[in-house]
Chains A and B, each alone.
Chain A
């Protein structure tokens, strides 16, 4: 994505959505989220405590539910804050596949078989 010279990181998330919304990838409890390779300490320092704690925690990829539990935030608030960070491109969502995708189901089957 091209740099946007006029855009300061203190601009409110809703001002900076730029079409990067989560509507294609709704945040489910098991949706995987991380900072990708973009961890930005300056941004981290600028975030409100709850968002900052989510952002720091997401340096290691984990699910929305894990983020909620690790940061001690209610799920609804967790989703809202993650969405804000997604909109400014500071978190990435790692989910893509449908839960009824046959290839996914086959991988699950193989993995679970090993545990039986």
Chain B
């Protein structure tokens, strides 16, 4: 293998890299709003997500009455610097699409789980998922549609039975700067975890 062509290819690819943060939560909690607020492209909605094989299994399974083969999922993009692009993926809200969550979460820097104080139960499933079924760093963000008092955050933590190591923040995700702050909190949490792992020689 000639070294010349190798280094030429390396130059062309110039460490162009992408990263991903997943935005999760129940239906109508503001996932798409958050993606749209900060994305430099209009949030892309893809609805032909499931594979034909998965669709076929669904049809054959008498326990599932729906024949839905399409799943709505929104994603957006933020250019971080000249060689790094951050993708944001909103998870499909419906719990029956959890295998798809695994796929979305794989390789993510972390996850932002949105909750609405008026409808906490709506995000229980997402919180459960990240607590028990995923290994990525995650934080919870209260999306205060109508404002929130600081003391309410501890009540939310209690209601969601969040482990103490999971950060809890509040952000109005209609505001791009707030979304940036929330994503920053995810990155900071991921950094802490990565540093701790490096220190203990684990992971």
**A30 B80 Cβ-Cβ under 8 A:** no
Give the size range of B's interface with the partner.
Answer: 35 or more
Which chain A residue has the least Cβ–Cβ distance from B89?
Answer: A29
A57 touches B (CB below 8 Å): no
CB < 8 Å neighbour of A109 from B75, B87, B106, B184: B184
A99 touches B191 (CB 8 A): no
Chain A residues 74 to 112 lying within 8 A of chain B, measured CB to CB, are: 74-77, 92, 94-97, 99-102, 104-112
Given the complex of chains A and B, what is the CA–CA distance between A65 and B45 in angstroms?
10
Task: Identify which of B15-23, B116-124, B141-149, B150-158 touches chain A.
Answer: B15-23
Contact of A112 among B13, B77, B187, B195 (CB under 8 A): B187
Q: In the bound complex, how far is the Cα of B108 from the Cα of A66, in angstroms? A: 17
Task: Kindly report which residue of chain A lies nearest to residue B109, judged by CB atoms.
Answer: A99
Whether A32 is near chain B, meaning CB under 8 Å from some CB there, is yes
Contact A74 B177 (CB under 8 A): no
Q: How far apart are A36's CB and chain B's nearest CB, in angstroms?
A: 6
Q: Which residues of B contact A107 (CB under 8 A)?
A: 80-81, 84
Q: How far is the CA of A30 from the CA of B108 in the complex (A)?
A: 9
Q: Which residues of B contact A112 (CB under 8 A)?
A: 78, 80, 86, 180, 183-184, 187
**Interface residues in B119-138 (C-beta closer than 8 Å to A):** 136
How far is B54's CA from A9's CA once the two chains are assembled, in angstroms?
A: 32
Q: For residue B83, which residue of chain A has the nearest CB?
A: A107
CA distance A20 to B31 in the complex (A): 38
With A105-B187, A107-B84, A112-B187 in contact, do A72 and B17 touch (Cβ < 8 Å)?
A: no
A102 touches B17 (CB 8 A): no
Please determine whether B177 and A63 come into contact, CB atoms closer than 8 angstroms.
Answer: no
